[in-house]
Amino acid sequence: MADAFTELGVAHLREHAMGNAVGQFWAPATIDAKTMTRSSSLTAYYDKASWRPNLKMLTEHKVTQLTFKGASTTVSGVKAINRKTNKEVTFHARKEVILAAGSLHTPQILQLSGIGPKCVVQAAGIKSRVDLPGVGSNLQDHPVAYLNWKVTNSFPEPNIMMTNETFAAEALAEYQAHRTGPYTKAQSNTIAFLSLPMVTNNTEDMINSLKQQVASKYLPGVYSRELISGYEAQRAILAKQLGEGSVSALEFPFGGSGMVPNSVQKPLSRGTVHLNPDDPHGEPIVTYNAFTNPFDRAQLASFIAFTRRYFKTNALADMQPQEVSPGEDAQTEDEIIAKLAAGGPLSLSPSFAHPSSSCPMMPKNKGGCVSADLRVHGTRKLSIIDASILPIIPSAHLQATIGEVFGRDGDDGPPLAHQDVEVFCDTPVTSYLWGRSRYAAQIPNIIYPENCDARAREKNGEPDPRSPPTSCKTHSWLLTLRSLSLRGRLYGLNTNELWSKTEQIGFSAEG
């Protein structure tokens, strides 16, 4: 499968997380390498931090709105309701409220609190407190077409765990006894993120057509002049990046089964998240508007043309692929979209489960919702730290990106770069990264646990990367070498230097 990409001129990347994720590479999985179990926010962060006296998790409750100090726009806390008893409880914030309800519910909470487009808020019978059109605008996802080919001679059989009960039972027994075998694999690891010039020779014409669009023609009717202005700024950035091929436009995972998602990574269509005026506390009205911009339709058509070339490569000839969906009879853009749409969400979907950007970090006069320090425009003591703040959706799954969003502490307090940071470190790589990053990010002090060897080294300056591993717990931010390189760039480190240090202490750059 990788040979087929190579045959089409797609380079194989040694490490996709070092600033160049355009090409084919080995897709990592979020797995604890010691226990061979899924690593999630629960196991990698909460379980390790739950002992902290200043951390309390309240389950079975739903936040209904923010509270304010009198008639001002200073947030003082939140109201929540018990999902089982419907009893309401109010929490008072001593410093600030930080929202992380996700791209669909963060804008809902804001709008329920009177923060958002005035027309949307008032239509739901709520008094407008801050008229902020950016709340619930700019919604983006990775719309996806699921293409299907009939293939033979695919070894190992990718669906064997679902089609062979005996094999699945034996594999489960092996996993439970030894933590080895097929159950240790999360998903297929062959993936490509391809730039527009990689998949089509028509890039220049597509970009020129995009630049000539009248933006308001393809945007939601609720968009104000500020929102349109912000979108035009985004479009200029995207036109440049897509035209020069510096970002990926297509995600192309392939596990060998014949089903191939074609996911649009840089959509130009924009959606909205608004309160349901008939039931404001119910689920919000989410309108994706996927493929309303003709540029996105043109992108998808070019992706499918590339996928057809992929299945006709010599490398895949032994699999004897035969196109099933959308079918070879669909050749024009309109025919392709119509055939896929007729198949429903299992064939063409507005979402790849990556909703983002509904409270974008942009200037207020460009339709933004939060400032560069994550504070909600027009308010005090209110920050957002989830995927909704991304102005433009990344060409990637969002897990690692959202892990890099740093909050702030206090009303007018300093950013994280100027605060003390509590860190667990169990490898010399971790110590090296934090030791180096404190200078680049101007972190005044790193607070190590008492039993950490790096604590003593810190008193004498930068930690020695050649020191043996400490006995401290693992900090979830620093679980893999791939994520280390990303975090290194976040702190202004030279990632090549970081890789050389990891190799010096015996770690492989492949992770």
Residue 415: which region, alpha, beta or left (left: phi > 0; alpha: psi -120 to 50)?
Answer: beta
Structural domain contains residue 57: no
User: DSSP E strands: which ranges in 50-176?
Assistant: 61-68, 75-82, 88-92, 97-99, 115-116, 130-131, 144-150
Structural domain contains residue 499: yes
Structural domain contains residue 343: no
Total tally of structural domains belonging to the chain: 1
Write out 139-164 in H/E/C secondary structure: EECCCEEEEEEECCCCCCCCCHHHHC
Structural domain contains residue 200: no
Q: How far apart are CA 439 and CA 493, in angstroms?
A: 10
Q: Is the pTM of this model over 0.85?
A: no
Residue recorded with tokens 């070879």: 328
Q: What is the dihedral of CA 346, 348, 353, 357, to 10 degrees?
A: -160
Which of these, 387, 365, 362, 366, lies nearest to 375 by C-alpha position?
362
Would you say 423 and 429 are in contact if contact means Cβ atoms under 8 Å apart? no
Partners of 37 in beta bridges: 32
Structural domain contains residue 322: no
Could you please report the per-residue DSSP string of 391-423? SS--SS-SHHHHHT---B-SSSPPBGGGS-EE-
Structural domain contains residue 474: yes
Which pLDDT score is estimated for 254? Answer: 84
Query: CA of 151: how far to CAs of 41, 311, 321, 338, 361, in Å?
Result: 37, 10, 5, 24, 45
Domain that holds residue 466: 416-504
Count of H-run helices and E-run strands, the chain: 17, 20
Structural domain contains residue 449: yes
- Mean pLDDT by groups of 10 residues along the chain of 511 residues: 90 83 87 86 85 89 96 96 95 94 97 97 97 97 96 74 89 94 83 96 98 97 95 98 96 87 97 97 96 97 97 93 93 94 91 96 96 94 95 91 59 40 35 38 40 44 38 32 41 41 35 29
* Amino acid type, 458: E
Which pLDDT score is estimated for 155? Answer: 65
Structural domain contains residue 194: no
Which pLDDT score is estimated for 154? Answer: 62
